[in-house]
Amino acid sequence: MTEPLGPELTSIRSPRVKAARQLSKRALRLRARSFLAEGPQAVAEALACDGVVSQVYVTAAAHGRFGRLIDQATQQGAAVQAVSGDVMAELAQTITPQGVLAVCRFVDVPLARVAVAASRLVVILANVRDPGNAGTVLRTADAAGADGVIFSDASVDPYNSKCVRATAGSIFHLPVVVGTPVAATVAALREAGMRVLAADGRAGQSLDEAGPRGLLSGPTAWLFGNEAWGLPADVLALADEAVAVPIYGQAESLNLAAAAAVCLYASARAQRGQ
């Protein structure tokens, strides 16, 4: 039996709505150490991490459909607030909001949690700026069984709503590290026993060569650079080796998320002895 909700919040000017709305801005997310997860899938994944969800906003229509989700939130001690469709439209970043969103506490962990001997596959993003690309890489890393994703240097904020949406819930699945400098990150991961491979379209060796050389089968940290200009020379120099995704056709390069998918699955396959 789903609990009845309290009175519906109908004003977009109410302080609670304004506070939640402000989480669309990075500086205010940092201050509140909170971010928004939109839609039933993201809210369900957030609730699967105990203690992450602090508030839930839900429309009457969505309460009917996602009552179990709301009950779960209540049981975890989250504040559940009924809102009108107008308030939901104000809070949500999507064009067609699905009627439920959660205010979540930051989930990132210190680098030391990922830079451990047990880590077999880690991703370092260096100056990746597009939230959709970054979120897709995080989702792909999750699918490939990675042990963590590091948003280093001036990479996009993983809590950006577009990025959260592109992760399709994966931001709640694996350790995420934010803002560590790339040099320190590489050093820590190498110290923990990982080989650091830079994905670079201009590298002298391709994945097809790296595989047979056994480069992919050990613990690996993949370093991916900016979608337009790749990895600068000083960052490339930090890696143990650079590896290119082979281009068999006429394309000049691959999109970052596609290249990451090929590299991460090549590693996952090699590590599993395929």
The contact set with a second copy (CB under 8 A) reads 132, 136, 139-146, 166, 168-170, 173-174, 208, 211, 245-255, 257-262, 265-266, 268-269, 272, 274
Q: How far apart are the first and last CA of the chain?
A: 49
For a second copy, which is the closer residue by CB, 87 or 257? Answer: 257
Cβ nearer to a second copy, comparing 1 with 95: 95
Nearer to a second copy, 29 or 165 (CB): 165
Number of H helices, E strands in the chain: 13, 10
Nearer to a second copy, 20 or 268 (CB): 268
- Report in angstroms how near the CB of residue 210 gets to a second copy at its nearest: 11
Min dist. Cβ of residue 255 to a second copy (A)? 5
Mention every residue, 6+ apart, whose C-beta is less than 8 A from residue 192.
115, 116, 117, 119, 219
Specify the residue, 17 or 264, whose C-beta has the smaller distance to a second copy.
264
Q: How far is the CB of 86 from a second copy (least distance, A)?
A: 26
Question: In this complex, which beta carbon is closest to a second copy, that of residue 22 or of residue 41?
Answer: 41
From the CB of 216, what's the least distance to a second copy, in Å?
A: 12
Rounded least distance, CB 83 to a second copy, Å: 25
Tally of CA atoms within 13 A in the half-sphere of 240 that contains its CB: 18
Give 229 or 248: the residue with its C-beta nearer to a second copy.
248
- Centre a 10 Å sphere on the Cβ of residue 253 and count the other Cβ atoms it contains: 14
Sequence-ordered strand ranges (E) for the chain: 34-38, 53-58, 79-82, 100-105, 121-126, 148-152, 176-178, 195-199, 220-224, 241-243
C-alpha distance from residue 176 to each of 109, 134, 232, 266 (Å): 6, 12, 23, 22
Match 């000017």 to its residue by tokens: 13
Is residue 130 within 8 Å of 227, Cβ to Cβ? yes
Considering only CA atoms, which of 207, 268, 193, 273 is closest in space to residue 241?
207
| Nearest distance from C-beta of residue 97 to a second copy, angstroms | 16
Chain-centre distance for alpha carbon 21: 21
Q: Smallest distance, Å, CB 204 to a second copy? A: 18
